[in-house]
Amino acid sequence: MDLGVTEKVRPLIDAVRQMVEEDIAPLDAEFHGEVGKHPDGRFAHTDRQLEILNGLKAKARERGLWNFWLTDSERGYGLTTVEYAYLAEEMGKVSIAAEVFNCNAPDTGNMEVLERYGADWMKERWLGRLLEGEIRSAYVMTEPDTASSDAAQLVFEAKRDGEDYVLNGEKWWISGAGDPRCGLYILMACTDPDAPKHQRHTMFVMDPDLPGIEVLRPMKVFGADDAPHGHMHLRFTDVRVPAKNVVLGEGRGFEVAQGRLGPGRIHHCMRAIGQAEKALDLMCRRGLAREAFGKPLVELGANYDIIANARMEIEMARLLCLKAAWMMDTAGVRAAQPWISQIKVVAPLMAGRVVDEAMQMHGAAGISQDTDLASMWTHIRTLRFADGPDAVHRRQVARAELRKYTQREV
Amino acid sequence: MDLGVTEKVRPLIDAVRQMVEEDIAPLDAEFHGEVGKHPDGRFAHTDRQLEILNGLKAKARERGLWNFWLTDSERGYGLTTVEYAYLAEEMGKVSIAAEVFNCNAPDTGNMEVLERYGADWMKERWLGRLLEGEIRSAYVMTEPDTASSDAAQLVFEAKRDGEDYVLNGEKWWISGAGDPRCGLYILMACTDPDAPKHQRHTMFVMDPDLPGIEVLRPMKVFGADDAPHGHMHLRFTDVRVPAKNVVLGEGRGFEVAQGRLGPGRIHHCMRAIGQAEKALDLMCRRGLAREAFGKPLVELGANYDIIANARMEIEMARLLCLKAAWMMDTAGVRAAQPWISQIKVVAPLMAGRVVDEAMQMHGAAGISQDTDLASMWTHIRTLRFADGPDAVHRRQVARAELRKYTQREV
Amino acid sequence: MDLGVTEKVRPLIDAVRQMVEEDIAPLDAEFHGEVGKHPDGRFAHTDRQLEILNGLKAKARERGLWNFWLTDSERGYGLTTVEYAYLAEEMGKVSIAAEVFNCNAPDTGNMEVLERYGADWMKERWLGRLLEGEIRSAYVMTEPDTASSDAAQLVFEAKRDGEDYVLNGEKWWISGAGDPRCGLYILMACTDPDAPKHQRHTMFVMDPDLPGIEVLRPMKVFGADDAPHGHMHLRFTDVRVPAKNVVLGEGRGFEVAQGRLGPGRIHHCMRAIGQAEKALDLMCRRGLAREAFGKPLVELGANYDIIANARMEIEMARLLCLKAAWMMDTAGVRAAQPWISQIKVVAPLMAGRVVDEAMQMHGAAGISQDTDLASMWTHIRTLRFADGPDAVHRRQVARAELRKYTQREV
Amino acid sequence: MDLGVTEKVRPLIDAVRQMVEEDIAPLDAEFHGEVGKHPDGRFAHTDRQLEILNGLKAKARERGLWNFWLTDSERGYGLTTVEYAYLAEEMGKVSIAAEVFNCNAPDTGNMEVLERYGADWMKERWLGRLLEGEIRSAYVMTEPDTASSDAAQLVFEAKRDGEDYVLNGEKWWISGAGDPRCGLYILMACTDPDAPKHQRHTMFVMDPDLPGIEVLRPMKVFGADDAPHGHMHLRFTDVRVPAKNVVLGEGRGFEVAQGRLGPGRIHHCMRAIGQAEKALDLMCRRGLAREAFGKPLVELGANYDIIANARMEIEMARLLCLKAAWMMDTAGVRAAQPWISQIKVVAPLMAGRVVDEAMQMHGAAGISQDTDLASMWTHIRTLRFADGPDAVHRRQVARAELRKYTQREV
């Protein structure tokens, strides 16, 4: 069980870390400062934003720092998931970094769907451009009126009508659907509500500009609309999608969704661990630099314990994440599920606690625009819902444990 | 130790609760929806916002629901702090409610300063208009370059020059300084850095529009600027303030600050308890209404335990808050300090946990604009800094405990 | 809601505290040091033990410090439950103190059963002697082969046979059944397994020396048998009990059990709060007296925070306990149930944490025989099972909360 | 960073696990049941106890399951610390197992001292017999009147007098000093209180039966004396030890102590992880087998979450333990110190929580003699003091973290 940094990935880690620190971090604040300045509104990039993004992406490609997430594949570096984890951690430290290296959600998951389950024409039409970073994509699953953690409940409807399906319903929290560069929707719809639980739904691919698709509003995350990326609330009214746009086959939506989620979940966790590292770094620097009552903050109150606890929590979460990655590499996504669920619970909670303490060490500066901590804190909180709430993953872990003892359904 | 609802306050609680639910809550979202629509920018009210606020305030005054915070005073109802706690809890449930009843921070604390320590001319000039709700005010204390929890460190300078003081320096997180109705600054400045620790600073009153006062930027709270209230970063350059504007006397700034803080701290706590109650209410409703895996959410996972823990935590925090209030009423603010510090630590942590669980029960809706939970969550987080970080208050509680055993400084 | 110390109870608190500190505490260690020295074995008192106990009890009676638990009664002081709480807290601080004042479990609960539901002949035969402290008693309910928290499952059998019932089965954790002075069993048995859930069981009173009752073994609590009190595992083989020994009527066992449990539960909590106070006291003294790395322990690590948290937790638990007591006094045991459940969860957890930290401050001495902390720690842990495990009480609290919103069974 | 089970250690794990389950576990309860039956008192083995121990040890040797702890050594298997961790985890599951394989504390640490720092005559006299399991040993360091976590404070005195040193003072918590087979003391004494902090103390080896050594009493651990092993309180009065019995040299006691502690600390952690695994196993079995309210316990309350949390915590602690072991293997004990401190904090806290929840799932059976949980719980609690309290290790972790940022002493 080698969870360490391999010779192969070590220079990549160094190169990514250097580019994140030296090239991306200095532009990150400027990028976000541009939000809302586009004459057409918030959900469009300003020229400067595109210049920043495209410049950085070009530099990344030039240096060969691109598409690392294509693990075990001939298209990319053929990294293992364990190796990728170390890179993703570095990318987690600055908000726009993952996109710079074309390793950002939800595109990586969507590309995997195309790669693994897509028909050739789908790959031609969308996968190439996604791999090049020319377009972005959205994964259209969650619905407002059902607890989407129980995906069998999803009611958004796709009805067969001749050569087409006709889609009707609402979807929300469609991340990336605000981005004008979004060129692909991968959408899950109910094609047969009376079928067995896991055969009711079907996965579709489509262009986002089909007639009948309407953006109702951006969902806000603690008050922020995350423009121009956005998490959109969409309404579909009699949207016609050709039957050939079905992925894998009618009724096989769950199969596709399951295959998609493993890597996506763990990538979020890897980046969250990177954020926790960054927060601990900020916490230590602040605690040494700032004084009160005649002493540096680190020597006051419980601050030694707080720093130590942060280090221990990060260390453990990273090891668990690496083990889950190693399970994916060696036993496959399905067998690795309990470990993926474990890290999916652990990493966001851990990172949330570390960032929280880092904020506290900063005083009011910690919640302001003067550090990245505030946006890290709210972002990490969303991970406790994304790809399934904690409760659902804890249940998965418990059931995996109990299946060692009993055959009956638990 | 009567911590209960008295006959005197019971009808006031009912009236406040009714007005919050029926009159204020329905307009709260509309009020916030107007933010940013003023042609002059974010830090001004739209006509509709003023209409909402002034209409509600007029209604509150009409019903005699006004200035309850004037405890133990002939000007108001002469409520005890315990009685006021029950009212403040109700006001905490909707964000603009406290202002509607003229019970909002930082005005109540500032009015107390004027009432208790102000010269007659100060009362004439500012106190009356504040009590009428005509103007608002700001408390100008915190500084960017020092850990302001150790107030003795504050370096913003006021130098005597003839009949005036000349003020220079920066202050930040000046809440309410964005509001165009802000008509008073109460400001703490260092007049003698070489004096004994608690005699270095002096408290001033002044109009906010003096020459040389500059708003550098609004501080953001998890990305929000809280316009038009605002938490401003100010720079003072050679601002001249007449010597008669000193409160109580040169070098007595600490004395004023201490007297101001007791009630202010506990009012925040009372409102936080109201927010926790509201969050628990939302959590129960959601848990009963929403289904997954064939059951209402309350019957899944640890949700019974989560609800029970929330109820127990709220119950205990409320009782502790009431006891601190009762200590203030019966033994005075100074003797009540350890209890005020206790509740100052307990209430925001408790409310944060309850709101966090309520969000989790709501799924992604919980962090969106569709409930108040997201803004409650970020607001409550700020209370762990406001009026002193947790660590400083824990230290106060511990020292009070240890002074039972030893005379020496601990 | 007066939760304070009344004029009536203040002198009693002082008298009890003084007697606990000056008379009982100095003999407590000696009492326990005698355990096991009786020639007839562990479950008998040595002469010295009886001398200590009887001497202290005589002194308590002489001073009128006796049977305080008889709240709202003409037999005793007629104290309220709130008033009693302050006394019970003092008694909690030394292990044998509650018995000295004839306020010990399970006797108080058993006396309440007799007082409230007992026939006259039962009162004559047992109640008088219990009130005098001449005999002790046991409550015989829990069974080894069922989760006794779901009392409807209890299977110990009582079959009517002419004028008698014939009892067969096992009971365990029968506290006090080791004490040779034990003169009464109150026992719950299943008389009709097919009846509706809460009418299956019947409560009996009986002498402990009936033919067919056998002590299988003492149950150990973390290795201790708590001799001579003991928590016995009993087997009943064809034990005949006259039908007149039924309390209240066949099938009414649940009714009796419910009425018995409210006060019993809260008394445990009151004493646990007393133990937490004592632990905090020991923690502060140790932290000030002991040095390491050139400083008193209190100034190292997170110790200020630990002390502050202990103080806050105790303060809140005490207030919650007093509120539950006040509910019992003003609204009755039934209406007070959710609050009793709340404090039943809160108090043992809180006391466990405080004692744990106090142990840690003592280093290895904290787990040794040199302080009371070790025995407090294991004793308090048992309270998380006694009178219902935490999970059952949390469920009660949650259900009470949800009943505010729905009529259906939750 | 290979943290997995190697081909080399896999068959050893299987063999150890099998012997623990099939041979040792069935005799463990009988061994403890014999305690106190020896006619000479508690601190001697009965014939049956010796028969059990010696029989099992012979069987272990026969199978070649012996002295695994000799990592990186030619005398044993030459296992890495990572490999040993997997074996120690298995041994942790039954209380007498470690001794059966001659891998028990404090002997392993003491043997390492002899191996690494002992003169040839010391090895001849004691090391051989220890490696054979013929004698046992004690490490005599902690003192009653100082916080021994700050070892520089230790005052037990050794004064040079001709060819001898004369020893005076008290030591306590000397584990294993109750065992009649104890044939070696390794003792730290102060030889020069005025020397620099880490040169004041000297390490001695000696027979335990020297004139002037007196056992004052056994220290009790939550009421248990752990006979016949015992944790003794000793008094030394003018005990003469030859100067040649000094290990490494006068004033070098700290050096020896530091070298000794690394492996010892991590071995405790490995075994604690084994205990947590066993507790989780018992928790699952109980939760599936026991019913209440018509359901198996696992389906009630928060039990799924509790099981999941236990699994996640164990998984993370094990990985952290393995990483610390790997650091010891690859970078040496000194460089591994921060990781050893991390796992020293994490493992006992984690195991304590898991055992606590397992007890709760068992109801009152969980604290009784009917499962191993109660003794695991109290034993694990002692690990939070043994080899340094949590606070000291947290401080080490924090200081290691801060040294990345600053040269000055933190």
Q: Are strands B291-292 and B295-296 parallel, antiparallel or unpaired?
A: antiparallel
Give the per-residue pLDDT at B281.
98
The b-or-e profile of D336-352 (16+ CB within 10 A means b, else e) is: bbbbbbbbbbbbbbbbb
The b-or-e profile of D14-26 (16+ CB within 10 A means b, else e) is: ebbbebbeebbbe
Distance CA D71, CA D111 (A): 12
Q: Using a CB-CB distance cutoff of 8 angstroms, which residues of chain B are in contact with residue C5?
A: 1
| D401 contacts chain A (CB < 8 A) | yes
Q: Are strands A213-218 and A231-242 parallel, antiparallel or unpaired?
A: antiparallel
Q: Using a CB-CB distance cutoff of 8 angstroms, which residues of chain C are in contact with residue B397?
A: 307-308, 311-312
Mean pLDDT of A220-242: 96
pLDDT tens profile B140-162: 999 998 888 888 889 999 999 99
Please provide the size of chain D in residues: 410
Spatial CA neighbour of A94 closest among A399, A315, A379, A408: A379
pLDDT tens profile B254-299: 999 988 877 778 999 999 999 999 999 999 999 999 999 999 999 9
| Beta-carbon separation of D395 and C291 below 8 A | no
Top residue of D32, D173, D197, D368 to mutate, by most chain C CBs within 10 Å, is D368
Spatial CA neighbour of B49 closest among B59, B60, B61, B35: B35
| Beta-carbon separation of B364 and A293 below 8 A | no
| Beta-carbon separation of C304 and A304 below 8 A | no
pLDDT tens profile B207-244: 999 999 999 999 999 999 999 999 999 999 999 999 99
Shortest Cα–Cα distance, C337 to chain D (Å) = 19
Spatial CA neighbour of D6 closest among A313, A1, A320, C52: A1
Q: What is the maximum span of chain B, computed from C-alpha positions, in angstroms?
A: 79
Top residue of C362, C369, C387 to mutate, by most chain D CBs within 10 Å, is C369
| A308 contacts chain C (CB < 8 A) | no
Q: Using a CB-CB distance cutoff of 8 angstroms, which residues of chain B are in contact with residue C316?
A: 316-317, 319-320, 346
pLDDT tens profile C177-211: 999 999 999 999 999 999 999 999 999 999 999 99
| C95 contacts chain D (CB < 8 A) | no
Q: Are strands A182-190 and D295-296 parallel, antiparallel or unpaired?
A: unpaired
Mean pLDDT of C136-150: 92
| Beta-carbon separation of C367 and D360 below 8 A | no
pLDDT tens profile A356-400: 999 999 999 999 999 999 999 999 999 999 888 999 999 999 999
pLDDT tens profile C299-338: 999 999 999 999 999 999 999 999 999 999 999 988 999 9
Asked if residue B410 has pLDDT above 70, the reply is no
Q: Using a CB-CB distance cutoff of 8 angstroms, which residues of chain A are in contact with residue B298?
A: none
Chain mean pLDDT for chain A: 94
Give the per-residue pLDDT at D309.
98
Answer yes or no: are the C-beta atoms of C207 and C144 closer than 8 Å. Answer: no
| Beta-carbon separation of B301 and D302 below 8 A | yes
Answer yes or no: are the C-beta atoms of C201 and C254 closer than 8 Å. Answer: yes
| Beta-carbon separation of D389 and C220 below 8 A | no
Give the per-residue pLDDT at A193.
94
Question: Mapping DSSP to helix (H, G, I), strand (E, B) and coil, where does residue C94 land?
Answer: coil
Q: Are strands A295-296 and A291-292 parallel, antiparallel or unpaired?
A: antiparallel
Question: Exposed (0-12), middle (13-18) or buried (19+): which is D2, by Cβ within 10 Å?
Answer: middle
Give the per-residue pLDDT at A45.
95
Asked if residue C354 has pLDDT above 90, the reply is yes
Give the per-residue pLDDT at A387.
85
The partner residue sitting opposite A367, judged by closest CB among B290, B301, B382, is B382
pLDDT tens profile A32-41: 999 989 988 8
Give the per-residue pLDDT at A327.
96
Give the per-residue pLDDT at A57.
97
Shortest Cα–Cα distance, B312 to chain C (Å) = 6
Shortest Cα–Cα distance, D187 to chain B (Å) = 37
Distance CA C14, CA A261 (A): 66
Phi-psi region of B157 (alpha: psi -120 to 50; beta: other; left: phi over 0): beta
How large is the C-alpha radius of gyration of chain D?
Answer: 22
Top residue of C367, C369, C373, C379 to mutate, by most chain D CBs within 10 Å, is C367
| B296 contacts chain A (CB < 8 A) | no
Give the per-residue pLDDT at A410.
67
Chain mean pLDDT for chain C: 94
Please provide the size of chain B in residues: 410
Chain mean pLDDT for chain B: 94
In what helix (H) or strand (E) does residue B238 lie, and over which residues does it extend?
strand B231-242
Q: Using a CB-CB distance cutoff of 8 angstroms, which residues of chain D are in contact with residue B302?
A: 301-302, 304-305
| Beta-carbon separation of B304 and C399 below 8 A | yes
Mean pLDDT of B64-91: 90
Answer yes or no: are the C-beta atoms of D141 and D257 closer than 8 Å. Answer: yes
Asked if residue B407 has pLDDT above 90, the reply is no
pLDDT tens profile A117-171: 999 999 999 999 999 999 999 999 999 988 888 888 899 999 999 999 999 999 9
Q: How many CB atoms lie within 10 A of CB B224?
A: 18
Asked if residue B378 has pLDDT above 80, the reply is yes
212-251 in chain C: CB under 8 A from chain D: 219-224
| C289 contacts chain B (CB < 8 A) | no
| C295 contacts chain A (CB < 8 A) | no
The partner residue sitting opposite B405, judged by closest CB among C4, C285, C311, is C285
Please provide the size of chain C in residues: 410
Tokens found for residue C240: 């005949």
pLDDT band at B384 (very low <50, low <70, confident <90, very high): very high
| Beta-carbon separation of D304 and B301 below 8 A | yes
Q: Using a CB-CB distance cutoff of 8 angstroms, which residues of chain B are in contact with residue C320?
A: 312, 315-316, 319
Mean pLDDT of A51-78: 90
ipTM of the modeled complex:
0.95
Is the Cα dihedral C401, C405, C409, C410 positive or negative? negative
Nearest C-alpha in D relative to B308: D301
With a cut of 50, which residues of chain D have pLDDT below it? none
Which domains, from first to last, does chain D contain?
10-104 (1.10.540.10), 136-251 (2.40.110.10), 254-402 (1.20.140.10)
The partner residue sitting opposite D220, judged by closest CB among C173, C368, C384, is C368
Distance CA A108, CA D245 (A): 67
| Beta-carbon separation of D297 and C147 below 8 A | yes
